[in-house]
Structure 1
């Protein structure tokens, strides 16, 4: 991981030199390292809470967007930014969640006749290797037996081709081409306009020194026009609405979707990772958040 003013947090797992992953890595690494720490808070926009949880071997909960006030959060992409919480124990995690998120006005009853469905995304499973898939398959089988659930395999690419919304092409890769740059990177860049202006004004016109990861995103976001941003946002909303209807359209069924965060393998803290992912945008977990 890149770092400038402070060293990257040390991940205590494995050989001690694994990457802690993501911008909430300090919270996850601290929780993994110190047994006197029960929980830690972080933020999650595009996986920067989920990846540290995976890398540091702790539980993480990302609440539904806007279920907790975001008024004091430093935003990078307001449509996806939210808080998250880490814990080593599910019991602790549950206690934090129930005290953190206000209960609904009317308590929801758990009917014995409630139906459950597990969505098994074929598109995402290409991320996992053979050993990881064995663990995922075992987990799905256990969940299926416990909930008496129906397991449904789902291909985003194929489903879009068969039932894409009106006035859209049938190729989802073409429809969402460059949407990440036009939406997320654009707002990521402009969320720090004031920082660049203030810093430059106090340092003889010099821009702030930032890590290569931020430099790349700023450079891409700066090239997006207002019209491009609006069109990218419109397409993202169309896709989100379609996906929600495909997966969660039946209110009589409690639906869970299983998504691996990444391929579970060693990633060293000094390893230089590719600047851009090769996956198409509809595979990127950024576009499967609420």
Structure 2
């Protein structure tokens, strides 16, 4: 253990700078602004590119440190709604969010036990896999760090199914979409992001390695055709999942974490008053304090339905493959994935994590005070909503000209690879195989992803 690394306050999603307009303004009026700048600690530095990029938030210190210092073999973070995955992507690292429950965390301070898990940042799959297996080892008496034969046998005898998540054809073009471009928008004249070629190269090599062909999937459309049928699930995917995370997370944080902390803080020093909480996080916690027991109950019901859909329809585990700590829903309910899968087929889902696009740390995020949460469907909910593993894999770099330094620099491109809940050993074995085959590469520290970069 070397030391404690910085995270955002209460592990909440915070930008280095953030402002919001306090009240509706007449035309041409000068706005009155409040600033939230992570006042207690300076935001860690993302070393990639020009050195002026945001490191993402929550486990930002763990990610930026692993990408900066060669004497740190790995770092540890936590992931509630994306706090390992997004920092890993923009800092160019392997980021492991394991299956929920795979790593014992009962002694850790958590924001919300329905979502929280501990995970690892590393610069190689070998380190990421070794550390993750050791951390999972105390929670699974049948797992042995050196028992690689089990994983390799599973890799040889099981078949894989590769789900390639694409944008809906009606969505407007974006430089950082949630999913890969839909085939209907790809043509010789298309102005696709530069990262698209890096993604395509990786997917093609992954198909060859697994002896499969990708199956394109529009998750919004797939939800609409396969979702459970009670009246409560009549909404589209974005609408149905919209308030599950805010209600459960900030309801739990406010009641179970912040309020007890404030009471202890005040008891420790009479007359101290309230501790400082960043403005955006404070507003979210105030929302959480107002969430009723009935709203929490409804959110838990919605979460259970959504988790069941991911674990039994989208990413069902083979009946014989569940970990000792993982109840196999698929064995109970006979679920199936897109196109129907057999008992030996392991579905994998891949989506883009980082597009190599600049996000300068001096850019101020402007947020309407009434809009405390991110709108639309969160791709991170596939993992935090179902408990399945989501591993971030750095693939390459995109060149850009820095607005700050005026020089050319490079930013990471990364994907996320998901597997059924409880399939961490197989997924760890797969990413190790991909590195051995040269499809994935160990990354370096500093501004460039690879040590041999020119």
Q: Is the 8 A contact 1:160 1:170 kept in 2?
A: no
1:112, CA displacement in angstroms?
3.5
Structure 2 residue runs of 5 or longer lacking an equivalent are 1-15, 17-36, 144-149, 169-175, 180-191, 317-340, 388-454
For the pair 1:257 / 2:349, whether they are aligned, the reply is: yes
Aligned equivalent of 2:193, options 124, 130, 153: 130
Which one has the bigger helix percentage?
Answer: 1
Note closer, same or farther for the CA distance 1:260–1:77 as it changes in structure 2 (3 Å cut). Answer: farther
Of stretches 225-234 and 164-173 in structure 1, the one that deviates more from structure 2 is 164-173
3-state DSSP of counterpart to 2:365 = coil
3-state DSSP of counterpart to 2:214 = strand
In structure 2, the residue matched to 1:280 is 376
Written as runs of structure 1 = structure 2, the 5 A alignment for 1:185-224 is 185-190=250-255, 191-201=257-267, 202=269, 204=271, 206-224=273-291
Written as runs of structure 1 = structure 2, the 5 A alignment for 1:80-95 is 80-95=115-130
Aligned equivalent of 2:309, options 223, 236, 242: 242
What is the TM-score with the length of structure 2 in the denominator? 0.59
Distance 1:274 1:261 in 2: 23
In structure 1, the residue matched to 2:164 is 120
Distance 1:131 1:279 in 2: 26
1:285, CA displacement in angstroms?
0.9
1:242, CA displacement in angstroms?
1.2
What is the TM-score with the length of structure 1 in the denominator? 0.89
Note closer, same or farther for the CA distance 1:203–1:123 as it changes in structure 2 (3 Å cut). Answer: farther
Q: Is the 8 A contact 1:188 1:217 kept in 2?
A: no
Aligned equivalent of 1:105, options 137, 142, 145: 142
Q: Is the 8 A contact 1:44 1:50 kept in 2?
A: yes
For the pair 1:180 / 2:215, whether they are aligned, the reply is: no
Of stretches 104-113 and 56-65 in structure 1, the one that deviates more from structure 2 is 104-113
In structure 2, the residue matched to 1:145 is 208
Distance 2:210 2:290 in 1: 49
1:49, CA displacement in angstroms?
1.1
Note closer, same or farther for the CA distance 1:117–1:72 as it changes in structure 2 (3 Å cut). Answer: same
**Residues 122-141 of structure 1: CA deviation (Å, up to 9, x unaligned):** 24983366222322222111
3-state DSSP of counterpart to 2:358 = coil
In structure 2, the residue matched to 1:227 is 294
In structure 2, the residue matched to 1:163 is 226
Aligned equivalent of 1:19, options 38, 54, 65: 54
Note closer, same or farther for the CA distance 1:269–1:72 as it changes in structure 2 (3 Å cut). Answer: farther
Of stretches 259-268 and 104-113 in structure 1, the one that deviates more from structure 2 is 104-113
**Residues 55-78 of structure 1: CA deviation (Å, up to 9, x unaligned):** 222212122111111122111011
Q: Is the 8 A contact 1:127 1:262 kept in 2?
A: no
Of stretches 115-124 and 60-69 in structure 1, the one that deviates more from structure 2 is 115-124
Q: Is the 8 A contact 1:118 1:256 kept in 2?
A: yes
1:272, CA displacement in angstroms?
2.3
Distance 1:162 1:258 in 2: 20
Which one has the bigger strand percentage?
Answer: 2
Aligned equivalent of 2:95, options 60, 66, 79: 60
Note closer, same or farther for the CA distance 1:104–1:139 as it changes in structure 2 (3 Å cut). Answer: farther
Q: Is the 8 A contact 2:254 2:288 kept in 1?
A: yes
3-state DSSP of counterpart to 2:196 = helix
Q: Is the 8 A contact 2:111 2:252 kept in 1?
A: yes
Distance 1:197 1:277 in 2: 27
Distance 1:274 1:48 in 2: 21
